[in-house]
């Protein structure tokens, strides 16, 4: 408990990380409460208010079909955060399994697994995702799975490095001497002590997944209309940039602030979890 207290204090003292955490919590709350706080139906077409500028009736204006931009951005936050969390969850699961097996058993198994990781890292991730999405039917579920399946390699390398060190520690050797199975050694003794860098990587991964989803939706390979997404709102902004600046500015700011906030939280966690930077004794 005292360790958790030290980590929490270090994180809170990092003002940028704390501000980032507050913004992330705010974004998550907006996504959860979207059905209750969205002022309009995000897919409702109003031909009498096409490309209306921001005003009292529509705080962030309307798009080329008269749909309320604020409502679409609120619902779009659900898409972005859902893709971020689910895709990173898939990547972490695969990375932990591959990294723990490679690091624990070592030798030939480690060599085979790590060469496969190197092969995966040799492919440009975004273009690999583009190729897969182009073959499959574009949908939010396809995006989540593809981003997760193509983003686990860094997690695997982090977990492997931790396992290589931890498996030689006295508490693991003692547990092995008492007859603990390999599965128990990995999941009960090694992994709980190897998850700190994984939490940091997961935070950065959510930011990356949100950027990828927005890019795919902007290119028309992500979330398909009329379902709202920050990326496809930007597409409408590109088509009407000369007459409807709000279609580009507001979703662009939402992506910028959200991704920046996750990166600040990730950096704060990295510093808070690094015992070499602690200025108090535990």
- What are the extents of the domains in the chain? 2-41+60-277
Question: pLDDT, tens digit, for every residue of 188-205?
Answer: 888 888 888 888 888 888
Supply the angle between the helices 69-105 and 230-239 in degrees, to the nearest 10: 130
pLDDT for position 282? 47
Q: Which of 106, 54, 10, 104 is nearest to 247 (CA)?
A: 54
pLDDT for position 23? 93
Residue range 2-41+60-277 in CATH 1.10.3720.10 = yes
Query: Binning pLDDT at 50, 70 and 90, where does residue 30 land?
Result: very high
Q: List the beta strands (DSSP E) in the chain.
A: none
**Would you say the C-alpha torsion 208, 278, 168, 191 has a positive or negative sign?**
negative
Q: Which of 224, 104, 96 is nearest to 154 (CA)?
A: 96
Length of the chain (residues): 282
Question: pLDDT, tens digit, for every residue of 128-171?
Answer: 777 777 777 777 888 888 888 888 888 999 898 888 888 888 88
Beta bridge partners of 62: 68
Question: pLDDT, tens digit, for every residue of 253-263?
Answer: 999 999 999 99
CB 136 within 8 A of CB 194: no
Query: Binning pLDDT at 50, 70 and 90, where does residue 281 land?
Result: very low
User: What is the maximal distance between C-alpha atoms in the chain?
Assistant: 77
Helix (H, G, I), strand (E, B) or coil at 276: helix
């Amino acid at each position: 408990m005292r360790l958790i207290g030290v980590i929490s204090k270090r994180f809170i003292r990092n003002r940028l990380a704390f501000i980032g955490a507050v913004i992330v919590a705010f974004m998550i709350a907006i996504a959860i409460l979207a059905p209750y706080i969205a002022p309009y139906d995000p897919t409702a077409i109003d031909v009498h208010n096409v490309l209306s500028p921001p005003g009292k009736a529509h705080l962030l204006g309307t798009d080329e079909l008269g749909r309320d931009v604020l409502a679409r951005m609120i619902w779009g936050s659900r898409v972005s955060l859902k893709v971020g969390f689910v895709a990173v969850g898939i990547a972490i699961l695969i990375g932990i399994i591959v990294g723990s097996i490679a690091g624990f058993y070592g030798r030939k198994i480690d060599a085979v697994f790590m060469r496969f990781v190197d092969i995966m890292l040799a492919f440009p991730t975004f273009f690999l995702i583009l190729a897969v999405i182009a073959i499959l039917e574009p949908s939010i579920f396809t995006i989540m799975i593809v981003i997760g399946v193509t983003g686990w390699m860094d997690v695997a390398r982090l977990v492997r490095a931790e396992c290589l060190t931890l498996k030689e520690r006295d508490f693991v050797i003692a547990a092995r001497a008492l007859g603990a199975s390999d599965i128990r050694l990995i999941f009960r003794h090694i992994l709980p002590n190897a998850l700190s860098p994984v939490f940091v990587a997961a935070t950065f991964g959510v930011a990356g997944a949100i950027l990828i989803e927005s890019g795919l939706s902007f290119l028309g390979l992500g979330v398909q209309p009329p379902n709202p997404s920050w990326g496809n709102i930007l597409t409408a902004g590109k088509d009407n940039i000369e007459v409807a600046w709000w279609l580009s500015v507001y979703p662009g700011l939402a992506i910028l602030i959200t991704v920046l906030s996750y990166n600040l939280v990730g950096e704060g966690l990295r510093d808070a979890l690094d015992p070499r930077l602690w200025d108090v004794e535990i």
